[in-house]
Structure 1
């Protein structure tokens, strides 16, 4: 078993039965990083010796827990006491926090081996870092969780932390062909995360499959999910939701959605079209207003003290946010509440919605990190979302399908996502 082939649950099983050690698994990961990092650029920092020492401690029984011995990557917007944390900005080059973020501490408590910090876009916004897409290095891995998605996709680690403020988990997961899971808003403690927008920022995870993502997120939010903790054997009721943003979907995404619908129906799922209420048409603008308004406040210190070290892309958003009147921000929050109140009625008809994860395949790196147009409204509403990989576009690059669930119905959402994952891969769910 190598890092490139071992999922988290499979690796844990192998370590329990003695056919794999953490030191060997971490060594495989480090070998993969050594072979591929120059081309992929997933890492802002990693410490090979510290990772090996942590792995040996797991193998010796000194560190236990649900993640015991598993290599994990941490997006460089989470504080780490033993590693630099720069938030993707030159302003914080060499910065060393005093304490771990809550999620990092929980990973260590559960026996996870923190391999290092992955590249993020500047303050988890849109100015790209150096990371390339493992499927084609001329293309973006997406953002802002660029390094985390790429590291999992390339076999450098089985698990990685990300965050989503607009589309920073689901979009890169789609572009890189991995599972990305954004739980219900505030399910996972964000203490120690460098905030971008405090009513939007959501801690999420990347993994090779849905069961691994559920395990990882369950450690962080207390659900402690294993692969058998939710039922994925029953074909779900799925709502095909093209969303008000459907015009942004290119031919690859339209084809992928049609194929997902066809395969799901053939495998026994009930698939019906779901049209969102008219009030949802205003949510895209509301999300942008809230994000820009809050970002101008969370980055007030950086804007005022080091404006010359902020990118032009971020500076434009900060200028816009500073100019937004408080009444417009309040109206945007009210639009969110009005639409959240209608979610129960939508999900009374289905177990989950399926919608595009991204407009299409990953664009070329020269075009930026891609458009989060299909993610923004769900981030605003706080719903759980899962990118399910398995389909590709005309150029052979991944195109994901987004599974969206009702607020706080994460287990049901993961069950539907796991069923769809098995259906699209030709495997048997359950």
Structure 2
């Protein structure tokens, strides 16, 4: 089966003339033809027009991304492709313009391959996607199609989003890099909102370096690119207040990572999170429900029967939350954000589990974002570093967390960690 190279390798080959955008698109389409019937990562594909678009890019030769094909999560607007937000309500809907992140990617020379499957409005009602490593398991959500498509080698890069754990968790389950930047680092204009305090545009890639490149382009921050491979990060390992939800697979992988990194000579020590942070996960749930009920009010008030029972129940919970409870949750989050510098004192990053364990069996649920909620609430940059596996041979990732706004160091540290873990 054909599998595409990494994004940076593709760019090198395009620059030296050993690959064209047209040839690359043909490889992607061949891989999709082989794998899509079972993985089902795509909501919409532009197969009929892609080769002509690739030839135009080959003739122009402009842009930093030089025709790299990307997948776009189907809550992110695209002017030339339908955007259904994972809901039958918007089936066939064509937005009037691209989302900002899509427009910036196109401007840099990216080729939009198609729209990837999302859960309903990026909540928890699963789409049709299967885990590429075991078709009887969930790929995670809500960025299920983006994670599966990248992990399965259908496309080198994809856009996703995270409100609780929708980038890091599916990246862990599918075995690819997922990068959730600092809140607001990538513009959200044209992305279907769910919870304004939490929603974050993220990216999927095969390597940390690829994710850093992609994010640098669409955020206008060239400093995110990993040019210097010499960082020896100071690392804290945190079992977090959610450790009781860690399955044996995640516990074993975290211990394995700890051992490998220490053996490689990195300074790594355990960190205990403040006791006051024990309520942050519940605060994230409160904020997500309260804001989600308002973001989805047009659909809930006019066509509730077109929403899944799972989403309706959640929105009803959000409507019932008193504003005082919501305000308290926001204050708790702000206080914890101010304490983050002390938690990371003399450290570059924290390591935690990316998910409770291996991808769960079945396609009715997308897994639990227990190990992601706090860091999304705090707006911190997070990277899923793949490369390790659980007892069933399924991917289990490690979550690397940095200081708010310090995405460049977080990515560089993640690349260093990934290099050690992949060395075995």
TM-score in terms of structure 1 length: 0.97
Task: Answer whether contact 1:3 1:25 (CA < 8 A) is retained.
Answer: no
Paired position in structure 2 for 1:73: 71
Cα offset, 1:49, TM superposition: 2.5
Instruction: Give the drift of 1:330.
Output: 0.4
How much has 1:68 moved relative to structure 2?
A: 1.1
> Are 2:318 and 1:310 aligned?
no
Corresponding residue number in structure 2 for 1:224? 222
- CA distance in structure 2 between the aligned counterparts of 1:205 and 1:420, rounded to whole angstroms: 19
| Residue number in structure 1 paired with 2:361 | 364
Which range is displaced more, 49-58 or 257-266? 49-58
User: Residues 303-346 of structure 1: CA distance to partner in whole angstroms, max 9, x if unpaired?
Assistant: 01110010011011100000001111100000000000101112
Q: Tell whether 2:415 aligns with 1:418.
A: yes
Q: Does 1:297 align with 2:294?
A: yes
**Unaligned segments of structure 1, at least 5 residues:** none
> Residues 41-52 of structure 1 correspond to what in structure 2 (within 5 A)?
41-52=40-51
Deviation of the 1:47 alpha carbon: 0.6
Matched, 1:383 2:375: no
Deviation at 1:349, TM superposition (A): 2.2
Cα distance in 2 between the residues matched to 1:362 and 1:350:
30
Q: Deviations over 1:13-65 (max 9, x none)?
A: 0000011111001110011111111101100001112221221111112x511
Shift of residue 225, structure 1, vs aligned partner = 5.0
Give the Cα–Cα distance (whole angstroms) in 1 for the partners of residues 10 and 183 of structure 2: 29
* Residue of structure 2 in register with 1:116 after alignment: 114
Distance (whole Å) between structure 1 residues aligned to residue 244 and residue 255 of structure 2: 15
Does the CA-based 8 Å contact 1:12-1:68 persist in structure 2? yes
Number of residue equivalences: 424
TM-score, length-scaled by structure 2: 0.98
User: Which of 258, 261, 269 lines up with 1:261 in the alignment?
Assistant: 258
Residue 226 of structure 1: how far off its partner (Å): 7.3
What RMSD, in angstroms, separates the aligned Cα atoms of the two structures?
1.2
Equivalent positions of 1:318-329 (< 5 A) are 318-329=315-326
Structure 1 residues 30 and 5: alpha-carbon distance in aligned structure 2, compared to 1, 3 A threshold: closer
Q: Distance in 1 between matches of 2:383 and 2:345?
A: 19
Query: 1:5, 1:30 → 2: CA distance?
Result: 10
Matching residue within 254, 266, 270 for 1:273: 270
Aligned partners of 2:356 and 2:43: how far apart in 1? Answer: 28
What is the rounded CA distance, in whole Å, between the counterparts of 1:282 and 1:166 in structure 2?
15
Deviation of 1:396 (Å): 0.4
Residue 20 of structure 1 corresponds to which residue in structure 2? 19
- Within the alignment, does 1:91 sit opposite 2:89 as a pair? yes
Shift of 1:161: 0.2
Judging changes above 3 Å, is the alpha-carbon distance between structure 1 residues 241 and 136 closer, same or farther for their aligned structure 2 residues?
Answer: same
User: Which of the numbers 81, 103, 106 marks the counterpart of 2:104?
Assistant: 106
CA distance in 2, matches of 1:353, 1:222: 26
